[in-house]
Amino acid sequence: MPSEATRLTVSEVMTLEAFADTIIPGERRYATDRAVAGAADGGGAVAAGAVDLMASEEGGIGGLLPTLVIGLNDHAQAYAEKHDRTLDDSVPAFVALDFDDRTALAAALMAPGTDEQDLWVPLAMFSVMAWDTGASVHTTEALAAGHPGLTTMGFTEPDADGLWRFPDFSYRRVLASPHPHTTPSGDPA
Amino acid sequence: MTAIETTDVVVIGSGFGGAIPAYRLAAGGARVVVLERGPWLTGEDFEHDFKFGSSSTRAFEFTMGDGMNILGGNCVGGGSVVYFAAMPRAPRYAFERLGGAGRRMWPAAIDRPALDPWYDKVAESLPISRQDWNDVTYSGGLFAAACAHAGRTANPVPAAIDRAKCTNCNWMMSGCRFDAKRSLLLNYLPGALAHGAQIRALHEVQRLSRIDGGYRVHFNTVHDVDYREVTGSGAIDCKVVIVAAGAAATPAILQRSEEDLGTMPAAVGRYFSGNGERLNTAVVDENRVREVLGLSRPDGRAYEAYQIGKGPVCATWDWLDENLPEFHRYSLEQLYFPPGFGTILAQVRDATGPTWFGAEKKEMLRRWQSWLTVFIMSEDDNEGVFGPPPETGNADRISQQMLSRGPLRYDPTANTRAAWARADADVRDILERDGLAKVMPWSDEVIGAYTVHPLSSCRIGDDPETSALDDTHELRDHPGIFVTDGSSVPGALTVNPAFTIAALAERAVPGIVEAVARRGVPVRYVAEPPEAVSSSRRPLLTQA
């Protein structure tokens, strides 16, 4: 799977990272980080492995990524021209947009009824999944490594055998009256 | 050249609609072959893991359509393996619905009293049990307490779960590692195997053709990891076919069979219902939960327990009221949806930017353990229509597993939208009262609507114009083909439909037995329940 990801060029990876960071933003990985805009505390989709997941063999969209990157940067260029933004041409156009502009463009691309919604929504879904499930690695390993999404969400640690069990699960109190027409089997009438 | 295999009955699909007739026909003496397109997973295959390629993607199918997306099982046992095992009977009025056509959607022969004996048979076989307040999880208890605070009732929901074995791990959408969920792997399917039925996994049926005295069932075999890869093909001849591929796949098989079998009834691939489903996500205020509802856990926390549990355990049935008009009736059921499926479409209340992604969504996700999801099951207008089937299967696969795009189009009518809006408002009324929570419905602007309970795409009825099956589940004008899965249910039920699908399949079996017997097969109807087993990991459950 990582071998798939490494086939992307640096500029392609940056563009995809900037898109993923728009979906679930995070803190910059290093001072000069351009792809990650630093719009939120803690690791975001990029730190959670979003590009690995997008490029994974299992995900099935890896082959599309170079085309999506071209499309994304073309849209960013058009957006910049329309809104009088001057882009730094040392990075891909989408990366050159600031976080608010990336957000506005992503929202427009994924708006209902637009031609390309079917392209960009799956890319966003992979970004979300990377952050809140860590689906490019085993969940127990992701948690052990301090996966930014699972730990931020408070996903608990499993038992020693890697399985989850919650013996404390109930208030163990009657908390409402049942519907008066409930049948003896506990069903609606 | 190898001779084509013959058997008495081919069953397409191994969920409720397939497993039940497979068991009863095999027990009655028929030769039965079950073809299941998904893998055969048992016991330790059911992982606690979100990784692509684990059981969370192997056993599942997410089929994206135009305006409607379907989540369903894709494995031996079908929906029973991945479902939440909530098993309420459908309310009386559900069988009396008129729907958009203005006439009773269900056949005259079926109403709730007529179906109750068949529900009883399923309840005995799985089995299903009443839950009490000691079984109700924190999230279910919180929802019940909020309902009571709003002057509503709330019920623990009957479930096919062995309470003694359940660990409340909430991984049941990936299959139950502990064999606590009473899936079909623990009753009807081992029952069928014990009586000589064969179950073949990774066999995806493409179409049917006619032969002298019956049908030929054409299948592809698919790769056990990359379901996009066709590894072979074949056919089996039989006297009777039972199509139970699920409401998202049964139409494609029948549509693709038209070229050989002749015109299908007009209702094949039409009248699809998403069971009026919709989700709302609340982020609760932990302090208000303590102050207003008086709830606290032994460790002192008020709630923070979204991850804990066994899916839906509590519902309010106040609007399951036969005196209300159609599209005003619905149930609200507390639910858990794991990260991924359960988080993407959840929206931020009062967002200043995007509602479903971005910085504010991340803030909402920080409070994930304080989430409470409420599942709406309402009445829709059966407005789903399937376009022409894809080259193979029921959808074009995108990922190796789980993700595909199919030809279903669903444009919700004003009736459906109004029903959703009423239920949304009600959820908000219950959960935002006295500052308990902030609530938003899931976005329907990103991928359209969604359902975990696809129904009605090949439905039973008395009217040949609006139903593909007669009241025996036989496909009109195609004797010897029966459809017994969720596609046969005429419309939304306003509750979880698995129990009703199963009861209908039980009810259809005596008629299917007669049809098989008429074709010269020595078979009788067997009324006894399958012998229950306690573990899916038994030698019998190895692939034929």
pLDDT in tens, B54-68: 999 999 999 999 999
CB atoms within 10 A of CB A149: 30
Cβ–Cβ contact B323 with A under 8 A: no
pLDDT category, B115, cuts 50, 70, 90?
very high
Paired sense of beta strands B5-6 and B384-386, if any: unpaired
Q: Mention every residue, 6+ apart, whose C-beta is less than 8 A from residue B49.
A: A138, A139, A140, B55, B56, B174
Which residue of chain B comes nearest to A135, CA vs CA? B51
Tell me how far the alpha carbon of residue A170 is from its chain's centroid: 32
Residues composing chain B: 544
Number of residue pairs across A and B with CB atoms under 8 Å? 221
Burial of B391 (0-12, 13-18, 19+ CB in 10 A): exposed
State how far the alpha carbon of A38 is from the alpha carbons of A11, A46, B343, in Å: 19, 11, 22
Which residue of chain A comes nearest to B128, CA vs CA? A185
Which residue of chain A comes nearest to B296, CA vs CA? A171
**Domain spans of chain B?**
15-529
CB B206 within 8 A of CB B187: no
CB atoms within 10 A of CB A144: 12
- The residue whose two tokens read 């930017």 is B353
B68 backbone dihedrals φ, ψ, rounded to 5°: -150, 135
| Cα B248 from Cα A138, distance rounded (Å) | 30
Which residue of chain A comes nearest to B404, CA vs CA? A60
Tell me how far the alpha carbon of residue B226 is from its chain's centroid: 24
| Cα B488 from Cα B486, distance rounded (Å) | 5
For the stretch B511-541, pLDDT in tens is 999 999 999 999 999 999 999 888 887 555 5
Cβ–Cβ contact A110 with B under 8 A: yes
| Cα B439 from Cα B455, distance rounded (Å) | 28
pLDDT value of residue B323: 96
Peptide bond into A122 cis (omega under 30): no
* Percent residues over pLDDT 90 in chain B: 95
State how far the alpha carbon of B197 is from the alpha carbons of A94, A117, B28, B185, B210, in Å: 58, 46, 11, 14, 23
Burial of B465 (0-12, 13-18, 19+ CB in 10 A): exposed
Cβ–Cβ contact A107 with B under 8 A: yes
Burial of B114 (0-12, 13-18, 19+ CB in 10 A): middle
Q: Mention every residue, 6+ apart, whose C-beta is less than 8 A from residue B494.
A: B90, B91, B94, B275, B276, B320, B329, B330, B331, B377, B378, B379
Is B542 a residue whose pLDDT tops 80?
A: no
In the stretch 116-155 of chain B, residues with CB closer than 8 A to chain A read 123, 130-131, 133-138, 141, 144-145, 147-148, 152-155
Helix (H) or strand (E) holding B192: helix B188-194
In the stretch 14-33 of chain A, residues with CB closer than 8 A to chain B read 22-25
Tell me the β-bridge partners of B218.
B207, B235
pLDDT category, B1, cuts 50, 70, 90?
low
Which residue of chain A comes nearest to B345, CA vs CA? A125
CB contact under 8 A, A182 and B155: yes
* Average pLDDT value for residue range B405-409: 97
Q: Which of B282, B345, B4 is nearest to B143 (CA)?
A: B282
| Cα A183 from Cα B111, distance rounded (Å) | 16
| Cα A44 from Cα A132, distance rounded (Å) | 10
Q: Which of B12, B158, B182, B163 is nearest to B83 (CA)?
A: B182
Average pLDDT, chain B: 96
For the stretch B230-275, pLDDT in tens is 999 999 999 999 999 999 999 999 999 999 999 999 999 999 999 9
- B491: tokens are 């419309």
B318 backbone dihedrals φ, ψ, rounded to 5°: -65, -25
- B229: tokens are 């890869």
pLDDT value of residue B341: 85
Burial of A91 (0-12, 13-18, 19+ CB in 10 A): middle
Q: List chain A residues with CB under 8 Å of B401.
A: 58
Cα angle B417-B498-A174, degrees, rounded to a multiple of 5 = 85
ipTM over 0.90: yes
- Max Cα–Cα distance, chain A, nearest Å: 72
Q: List chain B residues with CB under 8 Å of A61.
A: 398-399
CB B448 within 8 A of CB B410: yes
Q: Mention every residue, 6+ apart, whose C-beta is less than 8 A from residue B542.
A: none
Q: List chain B residues with CB under 8 Å of A169.
A: 137-138, 168, 305, 308-309
Cα angle B30-B35-B38, degrees, rounded to a multiple of 5 = 150
Residues composing chain A: 189
Is B149 a residue whose pLDDT tops 90?
A: yes
CB contact under 8 A, B138 and A171: yes
Tell me the β-bridge partners of A30.
none
One digit per residue, the tens of pLDDT, for chain A of length 189 reads: 344 444 899 999 999 999 999 999 999 999 999 999 999 999 999 999 999 999 999 999 999 999 999 999 999 999 999 999 999 999 999 999 999 999 999 999 999 989 999 999 999 999 999 999 999 999 999 999 999 999 999 999 999 999 999 999 999 999 999 999 999 999 999
Burial of B98 (0-12, 13-18, 19+ CB in 10 A): exposed
Q: Which of A33, A63, A79, A26 is nearest to A48 (CA)?
A: A26
Q: How close, in Å, is residue A23 to chain B by CA atoms?
A: 5
pLDDT value of residue B160: 97
- With residues binned 3-state (H G I as helix, E B as strand, rest as coil), the percentages for chain A, rounded to 5, are 50, 0, 50
Nearest CB among A125, A129, A188 relative to B88 is that of: A188
Cβ–Cβ contact A167 with B under 8 A: yes
Nearest CB among A125, A170, A185 relative to B135 is that of: A170
Q: List chain B residues with CB under 8 Å of A124.
A: 344, 357
pLDDT value of residue A113: 87
Instruction: Return the CATH superfamily for domain B15-529.
Output: FAD/NAD(P)-binding domain (3.50.50.60)
Cβ–Cβ contact A171 with B under 8 A: yes
Is B362 a residue whose pLDDT tops 60?
A: yes
Q: Which of B124, B109, B262, B125 is nearest to B192 (CA)?
A: B125
Cα angle B123-B129-B133, degrees, rounded to a multiple of 5 = 160
| Cα A44 from Cα B534, distance rounded (Å) | 43
pLDDT value of residue A1: 39
Q: Which of A52, A49, A50, A13 is nearest to A33 (CA)?
A: A13
State how far the alpha carbon of A68 is from the alpha carbons of A59, A72, B215, in Å: 15, 6, 46
pLDDT value of residue B3: 85
Paired sense of beta strands B198-200 and B32-35, if any: parallel
Nearest CB among A103, A164, A176 relative to B358 is that of: A103
| Cα B100 from Cα B108, distance rounded (Å) | 18
